[in-house]
């Protein structure tokens, strides 16, 4: 099957009925205004599908909600034309973009078939001055993927990295701090590390309610990531999301504005990604799917997985 036959292209973006708005942009001033306050940004640049967002609302049961008011969005697929409802079983836009070394470093080498592990990387690099009396920087984020749940634990797991430029043993390198407490990066590397993914409404499963008005089959609750900084230093950070295995079935990260904090007791040698505690939020529960419908859906998944493998 030709890869382009699986690529879904839509003409223009529209604001969803339930609030979230996405504006693709590489304009430095707009990215800065949505990304970091309390410090002077010395330089910022973006590559791939990046932009800003406002009013990302996650719906739960009994009218409970979670909210990210705004920030930057990075996607491995086109942001212009991203559907505002999940009505397509498998959605993807292959942008033809390059991969990124941070995602290539994820522990999925056994799936490499000779090509690049990652593709269609979207990234933001920034340099900023660190103010006094802080020990770290943090961000709130939501990670979404159309690879969920069928392609968990495969070479198509996709991923997100939040990295700081550091000198380690005399060598300058990017160190990813978007690591879970079990040592795994933010991705779908295995089903046991699905980082609080909620199943969004899916055309293949009408019994599942919609958590957010976007075309992603899975979306996390609000997570937090933290990284160290040095007072008075100029710090370089890279934020990146990318496809793995091939360029279709996209993933995205919605990252709220970075903020500084002072907590000398944090051990940054362990994974810092945690779920925000919102005890009043109640996740939606799917209605059980009839066995006949599940068998049909499972067969479709097998067909799609085989077509993906045949292309690599």
- pLDDT computed for residue 116 by the predictor: 57
- pLDDT computed for residue 288 by the predictor: 44
- CA dist 69 and 275 (Å) reads 17
More confident residue, 7 or 175: 175
What pTM, to 2 d.p., does this model score? 0.86
Q: Once rounded to an integer, what is the mean pLDDT over residues 65-87?
A: 92
Which tokens hold the place of 250? 């996209």
List pLDDT tens digits, range 116-142: 589 999 999 999 999 999 999 999 999
List pLDDT tens digits, range 260-269: 999 999 999 8
- CA dist 293 and 60 (Å) reads 25
At residue 310, does pLDDT exceed 70? no
Closest CA to 237 of 38, 71, 22, 46: 46
- CA dist 4 and 106 (Å) reads 27
Most confident of 23-27, 39-43, 182-186: 23-27
In the 3-class helix/strand/coil scheme, how is 5-66 assigned residue by residue?
A: HHCCCCCCCCCCCCCCEEEECCCHHHHHHHHECCCCEEEEEEECEEEEEEEEEEECHHHCEE
pLDDT > 70: percent of the chain: 79
Contact 232, 141 (CB under 8 A): no
Q: Residue 25 CA to chain centroid, in angstroms?
A: 18
- pLDDT computed for residue 210 by the predictor: 87
The DSSP code for 213 is S
At residue 90, does pLDDT exceed 90? no
Most confident of 67-76, 99-108, 194-203: 67-76
At residue 280, does pLDDT exceed 60? yes
At residue 107, does pLDDT exceed 60? yes
List pLDDT tens digits, range 207-221: 778 899 899 998 999
Q: Once rounded to an integer, what is the mean pLDDT over residues 40-59?
A: 93
- Cis, peptide link before residue 312, omega less than 30° from 0: no
- The angle formed by the CA atoms of residues 295, 251 and 241, to the nearest 5 degrees, is 150
At residue 164, does pLDDT exceed 80? yes
Q: Which residues of 198-212 are buried (b: 16+ CB within 10 A; e: fewer)?
A: bbbbbebbeebbbbb
């Amino acid at each position: 099957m030709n890869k382009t036959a699986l690529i879904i292209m839509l003409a223009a973006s529209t604001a969803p009925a339930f609030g979230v708005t996405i504006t693709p942009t590489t304009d430095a001033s707009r990215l800065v205004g949505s990304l970091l306050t309390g410090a002077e940004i010395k330089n910022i640049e973006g590559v791939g599908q990046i932009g800003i967002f406002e009013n990302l609302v996650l719906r739960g049961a009994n009218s409970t909600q979670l909210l990210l008011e705004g920030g930057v969005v990075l996607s491995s697929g086109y942001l212009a034309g991203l559907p505002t409802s999940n009505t397509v079983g498998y959605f993807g836009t292959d942008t033809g973009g390059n991969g990124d070394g941070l995602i290539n470093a994820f522990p999925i080498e056994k799936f490499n078939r000779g090509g690049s592990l990652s593709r269609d990387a979207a990234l933001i690099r920034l340099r900023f001055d660190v103010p006094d009396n802080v020990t770290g920087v943090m961000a709130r984020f939501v990670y979404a993927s159309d690879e969920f749940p069928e392609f968990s634990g495969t070479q198509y797991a996709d991923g997100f990295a939040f990295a700081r430029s550091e000198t380690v043993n005399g060598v300058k390198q990017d160190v990813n701090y978007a690591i879970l407490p079990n040592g795994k990066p933010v991705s779908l590397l295995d089903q046991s590390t699905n980082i609080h993914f909620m199943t969004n409404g899916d055309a293949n499963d009408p019994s599942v309610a919609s958590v957010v008005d976007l075309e992603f089959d899975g979306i996390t609750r609000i997570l937090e990531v933290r990284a160290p900084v040095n007072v008075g230093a100029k710090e370089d950070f890279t934020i990146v999301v990318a496809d793995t295995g091939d360029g279709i079935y996209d993933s995205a990260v919605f990252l709220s504005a970075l903020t500084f904090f002072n907590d000398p007791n944090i051990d940054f040698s362990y994974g810092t990604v945690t779920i925000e505690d919102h005890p009043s939020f109640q996740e939606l529960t799917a209605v059980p799917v009839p066995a006949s419908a599940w068998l049909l859906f499972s067969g479709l998944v097998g067909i799609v997985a085989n077509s993906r493998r045949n292309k690599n």
